[in-house]
Structure 1
Amino acid sequence: MNEDGRGPSAEPLLALIGEHRDSIRAALGDTQYALLLARLGELAEAPPEETMAVRRGIRGVELALRPLPFTHPLRSALDRVRLVAAPPGPETVSEALRLVNLFTHPEPEPEPAPGPELDPDPAPAPGPLPRAASESVFARGQAPDPLLGEPALSAAEVRARCGGAPPPELIRLLDPPNGDRYPEFQFPRGSGTPHEVVLTVNRLLLADVDPRGAASWWLGSNTWLGGSPASLLGRLPDQELVGAAVALVEGE
């Protein structure tokens, strides 16, 4: 706990991401790693004074790290983060921006001392990556967005399934070139209204304010459940899925 009785903040977790970036890359698959980079970019561009925007950014990073094995050094820090109890400060955004710069412009390997035939005045090393460039890599679409590559229904298809306006608990992903996308796992295959357990879990995950974070939880690997929650719909009791979401929200 902090001195004011609130849970620990996210800054130590972000610092560990930088410290262990090589082992993180080795532990995550390509799609999982791309998702982590995208979430770091989103956190880096969050307005520091907008607490909810920063919270959403932190949650996105946290969920993107969940596929790490339990033996990874980040797991203990990840499990200590309390997004509800610990209001983020401006340091959270600045640390995320530092990580974006680190991932997109790693420090060069030290070069050997110049010999008699080498240029004694090599060109200076490039400076930090500007914020705009950092955002263009992760937040402007250059990094692949695995969530938009998942099977999804259009807004018209969802209205037809729901018989009108869809419930706010449904995950709705913005895709300006193609229109809003609703991940298909939220509905029974072929026809029918949304799974009730999906709506229940989405309420816990605040899908109406953080749809990408909720989608990442459903579609990402979950060691506790033994697979991605979306793939286990109808195969595990609904209460097990709800319990896993409660454990995430409560930080267990």
Structure 2
Amino acid sequence: MTTGADGGADVLGLVEEHLDSIHDRLTDEEYELLLTRLRALADTPPDDARAVRRAFQGVRLGLLPLPFDHPVRAGLDSFRLIAAAPDRRLAVERTRALLARLAAGPPDPPRSPGTAADTAAIIAAVKRRLLKVPALSAAAARTRCGGAPPPDLILLVDPDRGDRYPEFQFEPGDGPYLVVLQVNRVLHADADPWGAADWWLSPNCWLDGGPPAALLGVRPDGDLVDAAVALVEAD
């Protein structure tokens, strides 16, 4: 895969080239989530570097469930962030063209891009997945923090159980990891807690494919911070 100025567009080119096999190798939910993330990239203003990078990272995350022997999954090893303005414009234009192709004739009609209700269902499924991870109640989090939990902690609201603080954020038997607070600030977890939680709990190509949450206390803190900065930094 090319890693030059149009590296981001090359990833999308691989998606376009192998669209049928991507569809076959993902579950219904994974495929619909990928479509949702492609639509988010297509709707992003190309001049907004930070928004394009975040949306493109979402597309990359949507491709990670592919088997390692799949050409697109293998191509992600050479993935780099979209940086220059031509890259961003080309990536958004390529994504819009890809979605137009899907709208004209998706590989499998039952799985064609859905309505806003379908997108809402996918987002709800992602939230259900994130709410299954071990978490502390608000009272338990206060105990572990010795008072009110810091605002930089990820707080997910469960409609049945109330406030939930994913437990990976806390050192064993102690308060929050300092690096978690630092990374959460980079990820703007206060404004997008679900997106931040998804980052921590999803495979990450900058961290050799491991989910960042599993690397706390294993990889140097600086590696985790650098991976988060690489996602959100603007030109």
TM-score, normalised with respect to structure 1: 0.60
In structure 2, the partner of 1:169 is: 152
Give the C-alpha shift of residue 102 in structure 1: 9.2
The amino acid that maps onto 1:41 is T
Deviation at 1:234, TM superposition (A): 1.4
Kindly indicate whether the alpha-carbon contact (under 8 Å) linking 2:153 and 2:184 is maintained by their aligned counterparts in 1: yes
Q: Contact between 2:53 and 2:232, CA under 8 Å: does it hold in 1?
A: no
Secondary structure of the structure 1 residue equivalent to 2:131? helix
**2:176 pairs with 1:178:** no
Structural mapping, 1:74-85, within 5 Å: 75=76, 78-82=79-83
* Structure 1 runs not aligned, ≥5 long: 1-6, 109-125
1:231 is matched with which residue? 214
User: Are 1:38 and 2:21 matched, yes or no?
Assistant: no
The answer to whether the aligner puts 1:211 opposite 2:189 as a matched pair is no
Q: Secondary structure at the match of 1:174?
A: strand
Partner of 1:38, secondary structure, is helix
- Give the whole-Å Cα distance in 1 for the aligned partners of 2:17 and 2:126: 22
Answer with 212-221 or 92-101: which moved more: 92-101
Counterpart secondary structure, 1:182: strand
Q: In structure 1, what is the equivalent of residue 137 of structure 2? A: 154
Are 1:246 and 2:223 an aligned pair?
no
Cα distance in 2 for residues equivalent to 1:150 and 1:18: 34
TM-aligned CA deviation for residue 196 of structure 1: 0.3
CA contact (8 A) 2:131 2:158 kept: yes
Query: What secondary structure sits across from 1:230 in the alignment?
Result: helix
Q: CA RMSD in A?
A: 4.7
Q: Structure 2 CA distance, aligned partners of 1:185 and 1:242?
A: 16
2:179 counterpart residue number: 197
Q: Assess if the C-alpha contact under 8 Å between 1:225 and 1:244 holds in 2.
A: no
In structure 2, relative to structure 1, the CA distance for the partners of 1:235 and 1:142 (3 Å cut) is closer
Percent identical pairs in the alignment equals 44
Q: How many Å apart are 1:187 and its aligned residue?
A: 0.2
Matches for 1:75-154 after TM superposition, within 5 Å: 75=76, 78-82=79-83, 106-107=107-108, 131-139=115-123, 141=124, 145-154=128-137
Count of residues in correspondence between the two structures: 221
In the TM superposition, residue 155 of structure 1 has moved relative to its aligned partner by 2.4
1:188–1:194 contact (8 Å) kept in structure 2: yes
The answer to whether the 8 A contact 1:155-1:181 is kept is yes
Supply the distance in 2 between the matched residues of 1:177 and 1:106 (Cα, whole angstroms): 38
Contact 2:12–2:95, Cα closer than 8 Å, also in 1: no
| Structure 1 residue 199: Cα displacement | 1.1
Partner Cα separation in structure 2 for residue 250 and residue 66 of structure 1: 22
Letter of the 1:81 counterpart? I
Matched residues in 1 for 2:98 and 2:158: separation? 24
* Cα pair distance change 1:133/1:202, threshold 3 Å: closer
Q: Is the 8 A contact 1:170 1:207 kept in 2?
A: yes
| 3-state SS in 2 of match to 1:180 | strand
- TM-aligned CA distance change 1:42 to 1:63, over 3 Å: closer
